[in-house]
Amino acid sequence: MMEPINIVVTGAAGQIAYSLLYQLASGSIFGPEQPINLRLLDIPPMMKVLDGVVMELEDLALPLIREILPTTEPAQAFNNVAAAFLVGSMPRKEGMERKDLLAANVEIFKVQGEALDKYARKDVKVLVVGNPANTNALICSHYAPSIPKENFTAMTRLDQNRAQAALAAKLGVQVDKVKNVIIWGNHSSTQYPDASHATVDIGSCCKSAPSAVNDDKWLNTTFVETIQKRGAAVIAARKMSSAMSAAKAAGDHMRDWWVGTKKGEWVSMGVVSNGSYGIPADIVFSFPVTIENKQYKIVQGLPISDFARSKLNITAKELEEERSEANKVLQK
């Protein structure tokens, strides 16, 4: 039998965690043979709700769950964890400026970064889901200097899944027939969903997505804008933010990081920039990556059109501005 690994989920009483926890318990993320100890972190006012979540986890009667620890204490939550899903964050409220949102989140991710630094395994895989995810991941990494920067990632897999589904719907194919869509940049409305390197299996043929769609105007306008605004559209319809799809994307992200990507395929992850594609270093920027032996590598050498470059510049500028705002708070 494999030894259990410790997994922490923050914001554990919230909507996204509610969908994510079943994936963890069922073995669909770390594998059907990997037992887990769940560390569920939330704030004191949410502990009564979290008690109910724990009851449900127990009532699943799934054999991979060995221990469940609900807690408000970061020292307990992050102790010897192999993977961290940082779901909890301060949501943007009506009338709140970005700098106010960043200031509130600096406090949250400072505490969690320090706890990771002090208590987690040094090879811990950290996925930041809570928004603004890219800059929250950067802040968290800043406060965990003993953990490699490449161990901190932000989730843009939801955007990738949305883009893949939109292309599949446009072409009338199953969603798994669309591969290698890229999300560049920030998990925000400035992101650039890029279908120019994607492929589509149609019948027995593998075509490039642009040739299959055969409508550059749609790809450069409707497609891009639909994915950029999809989160807002869900909120407008549901009166709540994406939860089920966000949890699925978090599971997809971590599973690929843990197990690896298929040959010839890549996925989008927000990672600390090393200057690839002319993106400023030391911002957390979504790139296409391949993963092997739990290590990701940014896909290199993809041609970037003038149109794509203009989009990359916009989203990189926003991330530099977010970093600047966060640094002002950090220096106080």
The residues assigned a catalytic role are 187
State both tokens at 187: 């998990």
Integer Cα distance of 7 and 9 in angstroms: 7
Q: Is 172 helix (H, G, I), strand (E, B) or coil?
A: coil
| Residue with tokens 């090393």, as numbered in its chain | 274
> How many Cβ atoms sit within 10 Å of the Cβ of residue 96?
12
> How many Cβ atoms sit within 10 Å of the Cβ of residue 122?
11
98 is in an annotated binding site: yes
Q: Is 329 helix (H, G, I), strand (E, B) or coil?
A: helix
Amino acid identity at 187: H
Integer Cα distance of 287 and 7 in angstroms: 25
185 is in an annotated binding site: no
CB 93 within 8 A of CB 74: no
| Residue with tokens 């006012």, as numbered in its chain | 45
203 is in an annotated binding site: no
92 is in an annotated binding site: yes
220 is in an annotated binding site: no
Integer Cα distance of 122 and 146 in angstroms: 7
159 is in an annotated binding site: no
Integer Cα distance of 47 and 167 in angstroms: 41
- Specify burial of residue 69 (Cβ count, 10 A radius: 0-12, 13-18, 19+): middle
Q: Classify 89 in phi/psi space as left (phi over 0), alpha (psi -120 to 50) or beta.
A: beta
162 is in an annotated binding site: yes
User: How far are the Cα atoms of 8, 70, 189, 260 from residue 198, in angstroms, in the given order?
Assistant: 34, 42, 21, 19
Amino acid identity at 129: V
In angstroms, the first-to-last Cα distance of the chain is 49
Helices 15-26 and 244-259: crossing angle, nearest 10°?
40
Residue positions forming the annotated binding site for substrate? 92, 98, 131, 162
